Amino acid sequence: MPKIQTPLNGLTVSSDETLIWGVRTYVMGIINLTPDSFSGDGLDKDVSAAVDKALRFQEEGADILDIGAESTRPGHEQVSVDQELSRLIPALEAVSKRVKIPISVDTYKAEVARQAVDAGAVIINDIWGLKSEPEIAHVAADTGAGIILMHNQLGTKYKNLLPNVVASLKDSVDIAFNAGVSPENIIIDPGIGFGKTPEQNLQVLKQLEKLKPIGYPILTGTSRKSTLGLLLGLPPDQRLEGTAATVSLSIAGGADIVRVHDVKEMVRVCLVTDAVVRGWRPKGWTTS
């Protein structure tokens, strides 16, 4: 399994932009084109609302947009390829024409991923880490798209939680590499909130640094998750502070990208955390 050799390697997302790992944290704004999002922000087929949200996120400092058209909340109902495409493609095409930042498509279906890349997506975010439809790896290889490989499983039983997650992610990386995906295009995600109990989610976040030896940039998605709801006793739209805490902890644990619903606030959290963890400083910074 190939590894990124230096934290300054990056993912090329356009002819003039590369996401450089290790310098600062990138913020990925979530756009849900679903009627049943767990967080209550689903836009269904409202293309105009999707464009407005994308433009707002860009203005607020998002580095990437993640657009999905099938809910992945616990107990969700799967939708057909045609249903997913009918929600996704009109909005994706409209958004890609209006924003300057890269777009990721949140799907585990190869045909959806292929059409999404044709419509303007440059990253594929697969919640099954290529283990539902391995053909997605070939879509990424053929198109040069980035690929986010998330850990997921049916059930929550583990022999040893973190080593099992790491081993599974390594398997996903191998699938990608064997299909011809460039190592620089691979990102890993421990799958907080997927195939894990609330206690296991907290353990993964606490031990996030154990993913770093795999050798690829790390994405975390803790925003408004149910574990925060259990800790705070609050509904999804009132979990901002809890999300902020987990975003900061994710960065301290080695995350390079954070996937969030509340872009403006989490950009600020990232800037302050990066100042401590990565040594980032704003332009014009002075100690005098």
The span from the CA of 252 to the CA of 248, in Å, is 6
Look up residue 247 and give its amino acid.
V
Residues with Cβ within 8 Å of residue 16, at least 6 apart in sequence: none
> Checking phi first, is residue 103 left (phi over 0); if not, alpha (psi -120 to 50) or beta?
beta
Contact 112, 119 (CB under 8 A): no
Catalytic: 196? no
CA distance 19 to 86: 30
Please confirm, yes or no, whether 159 is among the known catalytic residues: no
Please tell me the distance from the alpha carbon of residue 74 to that of residue 207, in angstroms, as a whole number: 24
Check 224, 225, 268, 283 and give the catalytic one: 225
Picking from 147, 154, 214, 215, the residue whose alpha carbon sits closest to that of residue 176 is 147
Do 80 and 101 meet the contact criterion of CB atoms below 8 Å apart? no
Based on the number of CB atoms within 10 Å of its own CB, is 45 exposed (0-12), middle (13-18) or buried (19 or more)? middle
Catalytic site residue from 114, 131, 196, 259:
259
Closest CA to 218 of 255, 248, 183, 186: 255
Please enumerate in sequence order all residues whose Cβ is within 8 A of that of 47, keeping only pairs 6 or more positions apart, or say none: 90, 91, 94
The values of phi and psi at residue 10, to 5°, are: -145, 170
- CB distance 172 to 133 below 8 Å: no
Helix/strand/coil for 10: strand
243, 273 Cβ separation under 8 angstroms:
no
**Which amino acids are annotated catalytic?**
225, 259
